[in-house]
Amino acid sequence: MKKMLDLLSAEVAKAFAEAGYDEKYARVSLSNRPDLCEYQCNGAMVAAKEYHKAPIMIANAVVEAMQGSEVFGEVQAVNPGFINMKVNNEYLSQYLNGMEKDERMGCEKAENPKTIMIDYGGPNVAKPLHVGHLRSAIIGESVKRIARFAGHKVIGDVHLGDWGLQMGLIITELRERKPELVYFDEAYEGEYPAEAPFTISELEEIYPTASGKSKQDEAYKEAAMQATYELQHGRRGYQALLKHILNVSVTDLKRNYANLKVDFDLWKGESDAQPYIPDMVQKMKDGGYAYVSDNALVVDVKEDTDTKEVPPCMLLKSDGASLYTTTDLATIVERMKLYNPDEIIYVVDKRQEMHFIQVFRCARKCGLVTDKTKLKFLGFGTMNGKDGKPFKTRDGGVMRLEYLLKDINEEMLKKIQESRPMEEKEAEETAKIVGLSAVKYGDLSNQASKDYIFDVERFTSSEGNTGPYILYTIVRIKSILRKYEESGKKAGEGKIGAGRSDSEKALQLELSKFNSVMETAFEECAPHKICAYIYDLANAFNKFYHETKILATDDMEAQSSWISLLLLTRRVLETCIDMLGFEAPEKM
């Protein structure tokens, strides 16, 4: 189904051609003065240069050619050469009825579906998820859902941090505590125990303890580095411990991500890329790309057009150890071999931009990807507290993600209990649903690259540009539809009619933008565009609702038409919040 703006542009193009002007000037856009018109075309202003005429002369000729159009209700040429338009009410209602009949409400699937991999999440094993992991998970999940809705094959990968010094630290601390464990006996050749020698709680305590010791005790740090080296070079006992660390950590991570309604197709980590490193490095050497500088193996990635310094991409340190850069490059090799993606999107803190510039350039220079493979860095800003600094607990520590969600849920439960009576269990479930909308919408309504203030009080409000306000609107629509059917009538039997009031038409105009918004959100990896849209849509609906006696009217034809309009509004809103990663309750 074509986008409304494309249909309107095609109609205006006919008028430009009829008036003797090039159709390329006929692009229609939403009006920047909605008090004057709904759509506008500024093509006459540009065409004036080519045709050496006053813009208003061209605009008047085009408007004259548009008289009698079934698409537009009002068309006007305005000095110095704008063409202002209002769409015909009947034409608009026909468009919406077409949306209503379509399973995807006017959104066409990609003609040539791509395979897209999204790298988001990125937690380190043996550590609890904290608020710093929130944005990657929320943004990545939304981008994944939007791309799937657009018709592409999308593979989400958590990309665990499971290979660096932290593993050596855990092994070293575990050895100090339990030296008798069979994993530390190099002569042992039997099967290792199936059960881990630690719980998730113990594991989460082991790492910070070990990290603290390594900063004060040089010998301890050396032992951890040696353990890391031995792990990475295949020591059996340490490899078995790594499997235990992964199993225990991933089980806990899956539980926490499930609470966020975030899921991954792949639970791969840096360790999965390790087998690809030796061949990759050798090929870079053989191809003349990699060379030794200050005892480290590097690849130059600077370009003549660079306006700032881009350091060489380091592959191996002087001791032969790999780095994040090496692992990220080897992960690209693995992904190309196993999945051959057309595009890989990295949803990562924007402060890592230089790292990914180096990685992407090195991958291209050394032929790890094809010329057509798109590598995209979607860098996000910081989630800050009200003081404008990175969000912390009251005592200044980094807040665990599950504690943040718990606080939000408790705040929502309190508000729900204050606003309406509800059974305790139902209230708790509703608080979880609405609380998640508060967190996700609060994050996603900001452009990903921008820092934002995480304000619990504002995010949980049912008024203003918030998740709860959007859900409150959906719940209100559900309530009206429920009451309509309880009166013995069947919703959806009527057609959406021509707007009978300004507020009804305003709602219809917002609905007609749906496919255009979804297309833009995909092309720009921009969930915030969906948030802005549904906020406008919710506002338009609530204005219509307050001005219209939907259930109290005696005009059955109008009522049936309005109910069909509400059904479409609910479908669009629910589809959009699904793209954002949350859902609406039945009651609030």
- Interval 500-552: pLDDT, tens: 999 999 999 999 999 999 999 999 999 999 999 999 999 999 999 999 999 99
**pLDDT recorded at residue 419:** 84
Q: How big is the CA angle at 24 (ends 20 and 26), to the nearest 5 degrees?
A: 80
Q: How many whole angstroms separate alpha carbon 212 and alpha carbon 221?
A: 10
Please count the helices (runs of H) and the strands (runs of E) in the chain. Answer: 21, 13
Average pLDDT over residues 12-27: 98
Q: How many whole angstroms separate alpha carbon 225 and alpha carbon 233?
A: 12
Pairing of strands 374-380, 343-349: parallel
Q: How many whole angstroms separate alpha carbon 300 and alpha carbon 337?
A: 25
**pLDDT recorded at residue 388:** 87
Q: How many whole angstroms separate alpha carbon 547 and alpha carbon 542?
A: 9
List pLDDT tens digits, range 214-247: 999 999 999 999 999 899 888 999 999 999 999 9
| 80 preceded by a cis bond (ω within 30 of 0) | yes
**pLDDT recorded at residue 179:** 97
Q: How many whole angstroms separate alpha carbon 579 and alpha carbon 525?
A: 12
Which residue do the tokens 């986008």 mark?
Answer: 3
The overall average pLDDT reported for the chain is 95
Query: What pTM did the predictor assign?
Result: 0.94
Average pLDDT over residues 339-365: 97
Does the pLDDT of residue 396 top 90, yes or no? Answer: no
List pLDDT tens digits, range 57-69: 999 999 999 999 9
Average pLDDT over residues 364-382: 97
Give yes or no for a contact between 362 and 394, defined as CB atoms under 8 angstroms apart. no
**pLDDT recorded at residue 164:** 84
Average pLDDT over residues 204-211: 93
CB within 8 Å of 576: residues ≥ 6 apart: 530, 533, 534
List pLDDT tens digits, range 253-291: 999 999 999 999 999 999 999 999 999 999 999 999 999
Q: Which helix (H) or strand (E) covers residue 118, if one does?
A: strand 115-119
Residue 493, classed as helix, strand or coil, is coil
Q: How many whole angstroms separate alpha carbon 329 and alpha carbon 355?
A: 11
In 3D space, the residue among 509, 489, 460 whose CA is nearest the CA of residue 557 turns out to be 489
Residue 79, classed as helix, strand or coil, is coil
Q: How many whole angstroms separate alpha carbon 335 and alpha carbon 160?
A: 15
Give yes or no for a contact between 430 and 585, defined as CB atoms under 8 angstroms apart. yes
Residue 394 — pLDDT band, cuts 50, 70, 90?
Answer: low
**pLDDT recorded at residue 332:** 98
Give yes or no for a contact between 512 and 4, defined as CB atoms under 8 angstroms apart. yes
Helices 165-177 and 200-216: angle between axes, nearest 10 degrees: 100
DSSP letter, residue 272: H
- The domains of the chain, with CATH numbers, are 4-87 (3.30.1360.70), 115-162+269-384 (3.40.50.620), 170-259 (no CATH), 401-580 (1.10.730.10)
Q: How big is the CA angle at 286 (ends 284 and 287), to the nearest 5 degrees?
A: 65
